[in-house]
Chains A and B, each alone.
With several copies, the nearest count.
Chain A
């Protein structure tokens, strides 16, 4: 892993909905080495701890990264107050991204809520070979659908309450898509129950599946052992891996889902 820490300029900030923001940051040395599924560790002014945010888009040419985040607590509220032109303290890019399969014919990208943005960087790689299934609670939370469409990917939108797209869980269109044509790979990010359900389907159908896991972090680089995530080793033993270094993207089969 190669990462740097510094103050990077926020060149654009958009409000994508209630308490939902998009940042475009100028950070060529990070962009040069970043990969989909990796994250940045941002320090909100006044906080002791940094906040992990997934990379949403990587523009190597412009030297910019896009992030999308929701305001959840004090730190993200401080970030939401920043203005274009301000500087942001980032340690990035961190972690282990999604496996990129250049020869894949068909990849299904699954996002749930604030887990949707990291799928965009993948859709930009796979284009028409990707089917993006994104799920949101309700219409006002829907985001990035136009950006996904622009990549050429097939997009399927679900909401829990049916106010936009299908009135369904993301696993319903997933099963339908698999029935139509078995994909080479499933990539997923979202709430743990969603990931667990997807992992089960992938295992049953024998499809390679990677999931991006969430855990509270300290250092963000694998030194403090704070961000433990339980994995099943081949010998059945339970091992505490670390989301920041061994993940955030894991092979869905190796995660100890009930651990």
Chain B
């Protein structure tokens, strides 16, 4: 049994695997299948100040090796999150990352301030949601935007602050640097890539929102590249994600520079994916006589 524990920005994880924000709700539904305590952590659904119903359905489409979603940040709002969801989650003996997604800097600051009063372990600031008209990706698309929102939220919280980056940019390493400068404790990437599918019979986009965010195995090479570029650009740790489906994928992303790994769309294909990935990592490490998962981080040797 290899030692799978990792540390990200001072927070200890029993293993590096974290269901990604948005695919896992607040965990309840998966407790029917496995104990949440087996997970390294849980990233909760993006929270706004007030309740949001999200975009109109259909909100999902399949693509080769992946999928598109346009949920659009449906959530019960920060008060309901803190009162109804968090107390339950905080008992689960796993790291809780509260994903926040305000549509203005002020809104994000308010949410962070409210979370400051809770026991949540980390804040994951989503500056990269492609499915909302205001805020979301707009913050993450420029260095100035990323820097200013990070700086503001940084001031509002003493909790470890993870900033979640968008892949829909020309130079993600520059944005990573701006975020580091502004005080982020860690980065998480990648969020979804903006995509579209059309039903050719009806000549209408499949998603009611026309476009949506692409995730799943198809985007994995882009995630590996971006994690590697960011790891070369910043000193803060990176939580990698994007298309991770197997233990080997998680190991590859860690070699590229990730300290921990989130799993999204793969959970739709296999609801046990996070647990399977932990088991597969363990097995590969043992077979290759590697004692700790930690030593994988950033160990790729470029040509």
Contacts and interface: CB of A to CB of B under 8 A. Distances in A.
Interface of A: 1-5, 43, 47-50, 74-75, 91, 215-230, 238-240, 245
B59 interface: yes
A220 B24 CA distance: 11
B57 A219 contact: no
Given A48-B66, A239-B53, A228 B59 contact: yes
A219 B271 contact: yes
Contacts of B75: 225
Given A43-B270, A49-B62, A223-B30, 15 more contacts: A5-B33, A43-B269, A47-B269, A48-B265, A48-B268, A217-B60, A224-B22, A224-B69, A224-B71, A225-B45, A225-B54, A227-B60, A228-B57, A238-B53, A240-B53
Q: Select the residue from A91, A223, A229 with max chain B CB neighbours within 10 A.
A: A223
B87 interface: no
B25 A216 contact: no
Given A49-B269, A238-B53, A219 B23 contact: yes
B35 interface: no
A171 B67 CA distance: 38
A245 B71 contact: no
Contacts of B271: 5, 91, 219, 221
A5 B71 contact: no
B2 interface: no
B277 to A, nearest CB: 16
Contact of B268 (A3, A50, A225): A50
B160 interface: no
Contact of A49 (B28, B54, B268): B268
B168 interface: no
Contacts of B217: 48
Interface string B64-90: 011101010011000000000000000
Nearest to A221: B29
A132 B187 CA distance: 58
Contact of B29 (A75, A229, A245): A245
Nearest to A74: B62
B22 A48 contact: no
Contact of A215 (B33, B58, B61): B58
A6 to B, nearest CB: 10
Contacts of A239: 53
A230 B56 CA distance: 9
B268 A216 contact: no
A219 B71 CA distance: 13
B216 interface: yes
A79 to B, nearest CB: 14
Contacts of A91: 271
A206 B45 CA distance: 40
Nearest to B74: A225
A156 B217 CA distance: 47
B287 interface: no
A2 B65 contact: no
A74 B246 CA distance: 13
Given A216-B58, A245-B29, A224 B23 contact: yes
B32 A48 contact: no
B23 A3 contact: no
A218 B74 contact: no
A219 B60 CA distance: 11
Given A5-B271, A49-B269, A229 B57 contact: yes
Nearest to B199: A73
24 contacts: A3-B32, A47-B269, A50-B268, A50-B269, A215-B58, A216-B59, A216-B60, A218-B23, A218-B60, A218-B67, A221-B30, A221-B32, A222-B29, A223-B23, A224-B268, A225-B22, A225-B45, A225-B71, A225-B75, A227-B57, A227-B59, A228-B56, A229-B57, A240-B74
B58 A222 contact: no
Nearest to A228: B57
Contacts of A225: 22, 25, 45, 54, 59, 71, 74-75
A3 B31 CA distance: 11
B233 interface: no
Contact of B67 (A3, A49, A74, A238): A49
Contact of B57 (A43, A49, A215, A222): A215
A226 B66 contact: no
A204 B61 CA distance: 37
Contact of A1 (B32, B53, B58, B71): B32
A4 to B, nearest CB: 8
B216 A48 contact: yes
B194 interface: no
Nearest to B45: A225
Given A48-B216, A48-B217, A238-B53, A223 B29 contact: yes
